[in-house]
Amino acid sequence: MTKDKSRPPQDRPWESGWAPDTTRAPGTRRLWLAGALALTTVTACVTAIAVMDSQSGEPAPESAEPTTLGNSAPGGLISFATPSGNSTPAPGKDRGRPSPTPTTSAPTSPAASPKPRPKAPKPSESHRTSPAPKPPKPNGISIRSVNFTDRYWRVRDGYVRLDSIGSGPEQREDATFRRVAGLADSSCYSFTTADGRHLRHRSFVLVEDTDDGSALFRKDATFCPRPAYPSGAVMLESVNYPGRFLRHRNFQLRLDPYQHDGQYRADASFRLVAGLD
């Protein structure tokens, strides 16, 4: 085996004939690496400045977020976009441009617009000073004879007579009644006066009386209509005395049995007309 000879110290190269390599100064490789790195850094800076100068004339993007130049500039430098003074559009600049999106508002129908209400005419002076007309009484009727067309039922001294009615308000009120549903039979009629009393027969004579709530009163005050001649006239038959009808005799209203003669039918036929009051 060859024995390794120990290298003589460099400060005495002449003893073994070995001399140190003086062609390269110590640390030269590090200097080259440092210089290359510095050159690369300068080149990256110059390139970044040139890119920024070239983009200063272009409109800046709307976003002001930082952008990384790692894809476009060497060295991984970060640059922030500078907003351009011309990037904000002037107000009203594109009002003349048509909207690319069709409108969704429904067309307004001409019928939807409210019509102006006509103003009510002002009342004249004559209308202001004239008294209001008297409202008609509900179901106010008068009962007229068929064979004496100028005579009506009228309450006088508690009895019902067939009288000629003048223009006096009291006479016309006494000859106006209210027809209601029959007290003993709702399909028939009962008649009330202006003061709330009822017409009933008593001893077969028609009189004015106050309702006492008895069953007899209800029957005496109920009359059922039967068709009569001429057309539109009626005969009034008693509920509790069937076959007896109201008729006038000497212009006094009575309840008499039916008779098959023309005079009886004429005296027992009446028309229900509008109230005289």
Give residue 167's pLDDT. 85
Phi, psi dihedrals of residue 203, rounded to the nearest 5°: 55, 35
CA dist., res. 9 & res. 19, Å (int): 10
Asked if residue 28 has pLDDT above 90, the reply is no
Which one is predicted more confidently, 221 or 95? 221
Give residue 138's pLDDT. 54
Task: Note if the pTM is more than 0.85.
Answer: no
For residues 235 and 225, is the Cβ–Cβ distance under 8 A? yes
For residues 224 and 188, is the Cβ–Cβ distance under 8 A? yes
Asked if residue 74 has pLDDT above 70, the reply is no
Confidence of residue 162 (pLDDT cuts 50, 70, 90): very high
Give residue 188's pLDDT. 97
For residues 145 and 253, is the Cβ–Cβ distance under 8 A? no
First to last CA, the chain: 164
For residues 175 and 276, is the Cβ–Cβ distance under 8 A? yes
pLDDT > 70: percent of the chain: 58
- Chain centroid offset of residue 1 CA: 120
Contact partners, residue 34, CB within 8 Å, separation at least 6: none
Confidence of residue 52 (pLDDT cuts 50, 70, 90): confident
Q: What is the mean pLDDT of residues 102-130?
A: 52
**Secondary structure (H, E, C), 194-245:** CCCCEEEEECCEEEEECCCCCHHHHHHCCEEEEEECCCCEEEEEECCCCCEE
For residues 154 and 160, is the Cβ–Cβ distance under 8 A? yes
Task: Say how many CA atoms lie within 13 Å of 22 toward its Cβ.
Answer: 4
